[in-house]
Structure formats: C-alpha cells, structure tokens
Amino acid sequence: MAEVRISSLVKRFGSFTAVKDASITVNDGEFVFLLGPSGCGKTTTLRMLAGLEMPTEGRIEIGGRDVTYLRPRYRNVGMVFQDYGLYRHMTVFENIAYPLRVRRMTRTQIREKVGDVARLMQITEVLKRKPDQLSAGQLQRVAIARMLVRDADIFLMDEPMSHLDAQLRGLMRAELRHLQKQIGTTTIFVTHDQLEAMTMADRIIVMRGGHMLQFATPRTIFERPANEFVATFVGEPQMNVFPVRIEARGSGAVAVLDGTDIPLDPAWVGANGIASMEGRTVRLGIRPEHVAIRETADERHPLAAKLLAFEPTGAENLYVFSAGGVEITTRSSTDETASHSKEFGAPFHLGLDPNWLYLFDPDDGRTLAYAASSRADDEGSAPA
C-alpha cells in the first residue's frame, strides 16, 4: 500500500507534449480513475507510473520513494493492460505463477498464493487451461489474478474491461470496486468510459489534451464540474450547453435565448454576481433530466420547441428538441410523458429547472456559476 505523488510531470514525444505539467497526490488505498477522450495522455501517464516510459520533466514518488527514473521491475507495481498480455503457451496456473517464479518463491508458496487468488477471482476450475480456451470474462479474471498475486505496492489498470460485453462489464464494475476496497491497494485505472469512472472511482482525474482538468470525487465532478468540457464529458445523455445573453429584469436577471426569457433564481443570481454579467453572452448548461416538457406553454415552461427525435429506452424517454436555434435533449420518465406526441415536428414547451443551471465562460469554458442545488459533499481538489 502506498501514496502516489506526481509533481510537475511532463512527457514530450519530439515536439508533441502528451502530458502537460501534471501534479496530483493519490492517497494510500485510494481507487483513482484517469478519465478522458482518446489521445488525452491517460496511457502515457500510466506508463510513466509503471516505468515503461521515462518522464521528460517532473517527479514520481510511490510510497515516499522517488521512482521517477527507476526501471519497472524495481517499482513493485502490478499491472493489467487492455490486451492482458498473457502467455498463450502457458496454462492459467503458470501465467499467474510467473511473477512469483521470477521472484524465486518455493513451489509450495507458489501453489498456495495462486490457489488464493484463483479462489478470490473464481477461476479455480480453469487453472489447467490455456488462455485460448477461456471466455473474455475468464481471461480478464486471469489477468487480474496475475496482477493481484504479487503483493504490489500499487496497481495500474489500462482499460481492462474493453473486451467484455455490456452485461459482464456491469458485473465486473461492481466486483472490481468491491475487490479493490477489500484488498486496499492504491489503484489507478485508465478509462474513456465515464460510466465506469463514475460508478467505481473514489476520485476521478479528468484529462484533456495532456492537461489534468479536475481531480475530485464522482459526485463533485458531476455536480460541480470545473469547466464545460468536464460538465459535458460526464453524464449520459450529455449536458445541454448553449449561448444565452444575461439581461437585468427588475432587481434580478434572466438568460435570454432567441428572445425568450429563461428565469433565473434570484438567490442564485445574487450569490454568483450574475447581475454584473448584464449584456454578456455566456454559455448556459443544464442536464437533460432537469428540462421539463409540456404540450402547452405556461410561466415555468416558456421555451417553444419542436420535436426532432424521440428515443424510448424502456423506463425513460429521451427527446431531442429544436428550441431558440439550438438543440436541447431531455430525459423524462416514460409514465410522465406517456400521453405526449412522439411525432417529428410536434410543438412543445420546455422549462429549465432554475436549481440546476450552470454558466460557463464562452472564452475559456471555466464554470462561472454552479447549479444552486449542487451541494457536493466535498470540494475535491483541482490539480495545481
């Protein structure tokens, strides 16, 4: 078990910078996710932690020890990669035993250790098989067992669930989270799947273009995103974001979209200094679940909309509307919207819940005002 400290870490490949000045501390025993789109630098960061890639600048400490330029085998790090890296000519038992053989453990010790992790991962019955005689789910279990067997200081996992079907992924998410808590070893997990990160992580590092944008709990990331990119990267369907003009109305303010006033909560306006944005165009954000739909207009549903697409998902209905020149997606329970028209072009009126609005800076995307109802249990920490 160990704390992982990354300070001012930079990785350049020629003139291209894959990781830009990253500084974070992962606590002992924490399950931390590196989340971001393809090419944002997640794998490069993980490979530097493993010692497979040397940093251009900066420092990496594991358990208080400077390992920045240490070779992988001196780091005591356990890893699972996307392709699992199992030896095809060896049985499952031999694959799992391999890291122990390298360390010259006795046969009895090896049998015991492999038996323990095999039981934990429920693969005892396939120990004599070769990797090509296993299902995708079993292969993944074997790869994890091989990572677990060596009592590493930290575990690193790079998209280990990408070969599993949706149902198995769901099961493994819960199982892996439970396992990590049970074993208690600091684990850093790379994924581009926001659902995986949101359901499993203690804390998430959201990356984009080599930058670490936010490092916080899933709830903070969801409710208090640092900027528009983080806000739209987590949550499915993604947050609606569109330009509005802030205008004063009496002692308060509204957000104007194509001539329609979207009411803002006066207390929220006051607490965030929104009145001082008078005349400014900013970006307004609202998640699909916080947009209410009606077939007739009223004070709370002022925004005229036309239905562009309807997508039933079973328990919920997703609608995509055109309103005020922008597209707005909504998510409602099937019961609530049972009687509503599903016809293309059908007229509707939308209401944006004033408790769940966000404002973003149109230039740099930074969050100017969080939703009034977002009350994250902790503040998380932005990377320095």
Contacts within 8 Å (CB) and 24+ apart, 268-273: 268/354, 268/355, 268/357, 268/369, 268/372, 271/372, 272/359, 272/368, 272/369
Residues between 159 and 198 that touch ligand ATP (CB under 6 A): 192
- Residue with Cβ nearer ligand ATP (16 or 299): 16
Q: How far is CA 49 from CA 1, 175, 305, 347, in A?
A: 15, 25, 50, 54
- Residue with Cβ nearer ligand ATP (48 or 118): 48
Of 205, 232, 192, 263, nearest to 360 (Cα)?
Answer: 232
- Residue with Cβ nearer ligand ATP (16 or 250): 16
Query: Which residue in the set 8, 13, 85, 102 belongs to the binding site for ligand ATP (CB under 6 A)?
Result: 13
Establish if 54 lies at the interface with ligand ATP (CB under 6 A).
no
| The token pair that represents 114 in the structure block | 């492999």
Minimum gap (Å) between residue 247 Cβ and ligand ATP: 41
How many residues of this chain bind ligand ATP (CB under 6 A)? 12
What is the distance between the alpha carbons of residues 255 and 280, in angstroms, rounded to a whole number? 10
Strands 240-249 and 281-286: antiparallel
- Residue with Cβ nearer ligand ATP (39 or 63): 39
Place of tokens 């000045």: 21
Minimum gap (Å) between residue 379 Cβ and ligand ATP: 26
Sign of CA dihedral 40, 46, 47, 48: positive
Minimum gap (Å) between residue 44 Cβ and ligand ATP: 3
Part in contact with ligand ATP (CB under 6 A); list of ranges 34-42, 129-137, 220-228, 258-266: 34-42
- Residue with Cβ nearer ligand ATP (36 or 218): 36
Cα radius of gyration (the chain): 25
Query: Which residue in the set 26, 33, 35, 42 belongs to the binding site for ligand ATP (CB under 6 A)?
Result: 42
Q: Which residues bind to ligand ATP, rule: CB under 6 A? A: 13, 16, 18, 36, 38-44, 192
